Chains A and B, each alone.
Chain A
Amino acid sequence: MKENEKTINASGKTDIERIRHILSENNGSLMRTWLSICSRCGLCAESCFYYLAEKDPKLSPAYKLKATLGEMYRQKGNVDHEFLKHCYEILWFKCTMCKRCSLFCPFGIDIAAMMAVARNVCCSQGVTPNELLEFTENCRKSGNHMGLPPEEIVDVCQWLEEEIEDEIKGVTIPIDKPDVKYMYTINPREVVFYPNDILDAAVIFSIAEESWTIPSFGWDCTNLPMFAGERDAAAQAVKNVYNQAIKIGAEKILITECGHAYRSLAFEGPYMAGYPEGKPPVEVVHYVELIHEYLVNGIISVDPAKKFKEPVTYQDPCNVGRNGGFWKEPRKIMEYIAHDFRDMIPSGEYNHCCGGGGGIMPMGPNYKPGRMEAGKIKARQIKETGAKIVISPCHNCYDQISDLGEKYNLGIEVLSIKEALRKMLVIPEKFKPVSLSP
């Protein structure tokens, strides 16, 4: 773990007052009760994929909590740098805050929420992955994680419109269009690495004749400061999106196929951004909800002859499934696109994290060995289904499962829902360019 150490601040001194302040801010009745009643039954161990992968008792959620936040409270914040470095290894590399343990705890203790507080404490002392801090800095400077200027997204969208015009007629990517139904927000990876994702979505929305737009600012729905433990920057990230939607008069915020963005904007964001009722100021919709609605209502349709014949499985991203509430809708979507759908065991709200959540995937290749080790459970689950195609509406799951496929020779292709749909979408006559019509 030497490479991790060099990425964290090693000044040695901790600001105890600051730590105490964070601990006291979070020391409500829930926190007190959780910390005081955990009866150490150990039932949470088998819920955690880190524990299952290595069977090390130190990886049980209750132990990880006890060794980090539990100790911070016990010491009343009087902890040294050495201790925080030890916490760092646990908080960022042995927990993705997937919340599966809360379903297995007899008291329903929200361990993930407590781990987030512990990350906040570490971060306040400069003990946080540098990679996540870089993203945070980008967010502060530019309002998006990659530090892209507003022209960039406009240029990419214009270029994509030109790319598709020979294939499908009338596909537009409206920028900053006021009073639309959906303000579509995306993952910056799409702009930089996967522009086809934007195009695939644009094709689907165009065929559905949807009222939508991508804003030139506030288009980045992701929130890595949330995983870094930088509460202020995390709050700013969600405010950028909320405020932009209010400004352009969008009815709803639509989120691309991304897990943590949904958790951030729909559930944690309102509290971070200071909406005390806990509800976002503009309704937040996840991509799978909308696609489900389109397919079920026949707004878009799929060519049955092009449905996947190979076995297909679906990876529930923790923040879309368990922490988002959508596992039935994507399975309905699978009925439209796959002849041979095979569910993983367990799945839905009980699904295991892929091992790329909680911010570790965007931290890059340095951490791949740990991800591959923790991803053993997911690799085994996929292998047992015999699936050749894995569909997942989350960029982190997508990248992690692609890596797992290579590492464990799973022989799989990973697709997002929009990629899969693009392969079999029925293009109505009026969208076909004249030259290609029969």
Chain B
Amino acid sequence: MYEFFSGPMLWIAFSFFLFGLAANIISTFTLSRSKDRIFYNHANAVWGIKSVLIWLLPLGSVSMRRQPFFTLIGFMFHISLITVPLFLNAHNILWDENFGISLWSIPDSISDILTIACILSGIFLMLRRAVKREVRILTEKRDYALIIITLLPFITGFLAYRQWGDYETILLLHIVTAEILLIIIPFTKLSHMIFFFFTRLFIGFEMGGRRGTKTW
């Protein structure tokens, strides 16, 4: 079982993730050529780039400055979400052993802190959904499910690193939950990891490029 999930299934998961996103991007691009001329008509590099970059800076926009605590948590969540899987030492050792290539590694102590930050901020985001009326009314079960699915690889990774519980089982769960996450990203709201850039570019073109209005 471990061999399957750490071998062929991992390939399958990565394929779903990469090809799913690629297919998504290609179909969006193709459709946009025929139906969204408005996107291209008013393209403006400076306004587009600003519209994306400023929202990637903590407290860069008025909207974020109005909700500094939520912003902080949101950034903590996203930064740890991206950093830990890519730069975790143990992951990079696996890359190196199997393919002879790897990214930089960050110290395990930092990965550990980021993992905890990710889990806590994810839990906060769920609580916020449950508590804040204007968010609760928008929330469906699958919105909670997505956060849980996102957190599971981190929770299991956290347990595996500490060797709490049955290591073999935890490690298997870690791999399986991570594979589930990779597979669903292109087909759910989590695809905003790519489409964030597309929609932000559009509003930058439309409001800034056409009217000189900031969108941050």
A interface, CB within 8 angstroms of B? 27-30, 32-34, 36-43, 45-47, 51, 57-58, 60, 62-63, 66, 99, 102-110, 267, 271, 276-279, 322-325, 349-350
* CA A58 to CA B135, docked complex, whole Å: 10
Chain B: minimal CB distance from A56 (Å): 9
What per-residue 1/0 map shows which CB atoms of B58-83 lie under 8 Å from chain A? 00011100110010001000000000
Chain B: minimal CB distance from A318 (Å): 11
* CA A105 to CA B66, docked complex, whole Å: 12
Which residues of chain A have C-beta atoms less than 8 A from B101's C-beta?
none
In this assembly, does B139 line the interface, its C-beta being within 8 Å of a C-beta of chain A? Answer: yes
Q: Are A325 and B213 in contact (CB under 8 A)?
A: yes
What per-residue 1/0 map shows which CB atoms of B182-199 lie under 8 Å from chain A? 000000010110011011
Which residues of chain B have C-beta atoms less than 8 A from A32's C-beta?
28, 31
Which residues of chain A have C-beta atoms less than 8 A from B129's C-beta?
40
Q: Are A42 and B63 in contact (CB under 8 A)?
A: no
17 CB contacts below 8 A, A to B, read A29-B35, A32-B28, A33-B199, A34-B199, A37-B199, A39-B143, A42-B138, A45-B134, A46-B66, A57-B136, A63-B137, A66-B138, A99-B207, A104-B61, A267-B210, A278-B38, A323-B213
In this assembly, does B29 line the interface, its C-beta being within 8 Å of a C-beta of chain A? Answer: yes
A102-B207 in contact given A28-B32, A63-B138 (Cβ < 8 Å): yes
Nearest CB to that of A277 among chain B residues?
A: B41
Which residues of chain B have C-beta atoms less than 8 A from A63's C-beta?
134, 137-138
Chain A: minimal CB distance from B20 (Å): 13
Q: A36-B191, A40-B143, A325-B212 are in contact. List 10 more A-B contacts (CB 8 A).
A: A27-B35, A33-B28, A37-B189, A37-B195, A39-B189, A41-B74, A42-B132, A57-B137, A267-B211, A276-B41
Chain A: minimal CB distance from B114 (Å): 21
Which residues of chain A have C-beta atoms less than 8 A from B36's C-beta?
28-30
Nearest CB to that of B192 among chain A residues?
A: A37
Which residues of chain B have C-beta atoms less than 8 A from A350's C-beta?
62
Q: In the complex, which range does the number of interface residues on chain B fall in?
A: 35 or more
Question: Which of A43, A105, A325 has the largest count of B CB atoms less than 10 A from its CB?
Answer: A43
Q: Are B189 and A28 in contact (CB under 8 A)?
A: no
Chain B: minimal CB distance from A246 (Å): 21
Residues of chain B in range 1-60 having any CB-CB distance to chain A below 8 Å: 27-29, 31-32, 34-39, 41-42, 51, 55
Q: Are A29 and B31 in contact (CB under 8 A)?
A: yes
* CA A121 to CA B135, docked complex, whole Å: 27
In this assembly, does B215 line the interface, its C-beta being within 8 Å of a C-beta of chain A? Answer: yes
In this assembly, does B87 line the interface, its C-beta being within 8 Å of a C-beta of chain A? Answer: no
* CA A30 to CA B198, docked complex, whole Å: 8
* CA A60 to CA B61, docked complex, whole Å: 19
Q: Are A104 and B51 in contact (CB under 8 A)?
A: no
In this assembly, does B154 line the interface, its C-beta being within 8 Å of a C-beta of chain A? Answer: no
* CA A66 to CA B189, docked complex, whole Å: 15
Which residues of chain B have C-beta atoms less than 8 A from A323's C-beta?
211, 213
Q: Which of B67, B198, B200, B207 contacts A43 (CB 8 A)?
A: B67
Q: Which of B133, B199, B211 contacts A57 (CB 8 A)?
A: B133
Chain B: minimal CB distance from A349 (Å): 5
Q: Are A40 and B138 in contact (CB under 8 A)?
A: yes
In this assembly, does B203 line the interface, its C-beta being within 8 Å of a C-beta of chain A? Answer: yes
Q: Are B138 and A62 in contact (CB under 8 A)?
A: yes
Q: Are A108 and B189 in contact (CB under 8 A)?
A: no
A349-B214 in contact given A40-B135, A107-B196, A276-B37 (Cβ < 8 Å): yes
* CA A28 to CA B27, docked complex, whole Å: 11
Chain B: minimal CB distance from A20 (Å): 16
In this assembly, does B206 line the interface, its C-beta being within 8 Å of a C-beta of chain A? Answer: yes
In this assembly, does B122 line the interface, its C-beta being within 8 Å of a C-beta of chain A? Answer: no
Q: Are A103 and B189 in contact (CB under 8 A)?
A: no
* CA A392 to CA B32, docked complex, whole Å: 38
Chain B: minimal CB distance from A59 (Å): 9
* CA A41 to CA B138, docked complex, whole Å: 8
Q: Are A58 and B137 in contact (CB under 8 A)?
A: yes
Which residues of chain A have C-beta atoms less than 8 A from B28's C-beta?
29, 32-33
Interchain residue pairs A-B with the least CB separation, the first 5: A108-B203, A28-B35, A325-B211, A42-B135, A29-B32
Which residues of chain A have C-beta atoms less than 8 A from B202's C-beta?
30, 108, 110
Which residues of chain A have C-beta atoms less than 8 A from B189's C-beta?
36-39
Q: Are B137 and A30 in contact (CB under 8 A)?
A: no
Q: Are B135 and A107 in contact (CB under 8 A)?
A: no
Chain B: minimal CB distance from A277 (Å): 6
Which residues of chain B have C-beta atoms less than 8 A from A42's C-beta?
132, 134-135, 138
In this assembly, does B216 line the interface, its C-beta being within 8 Å of a C-beta of chain A? Answer: yes
In this assembly, does B157 line the interface, its C-beta being within 8 Å of a C-beta of chain A? Answer: no
Nearest CB to that of A30 among chain B residues?
A: B36
Which residues of chain B have C-beta atoms less than 8 A from A47's C-beta?
63
Q: Are B138 and A106 in contact (CB under 8 A)?
A: no
In this assembly, does B153 line the interface, its C-beta being within 8 Å of a C-beta of chain A? Answer: no
Q: Which of B37, B134, B212 contacts A278 (CB 8 A)?
A: B37
Question: Which of B55, B137, B140, B143 has the largest count of A CB atoms less than 10 A from its CB?
Answer: B137
Which residues of chain A have C-beta atoms less than 8 A from B51's C-beta?
108
Chain A: minimal CB distance from B181 (Å): 16
Chain A: minimal CB distance from B104 (Å): 28
Which residues of chain B have C-beta atoms less than 8 A from A102's C-beta?
203, 207, 215
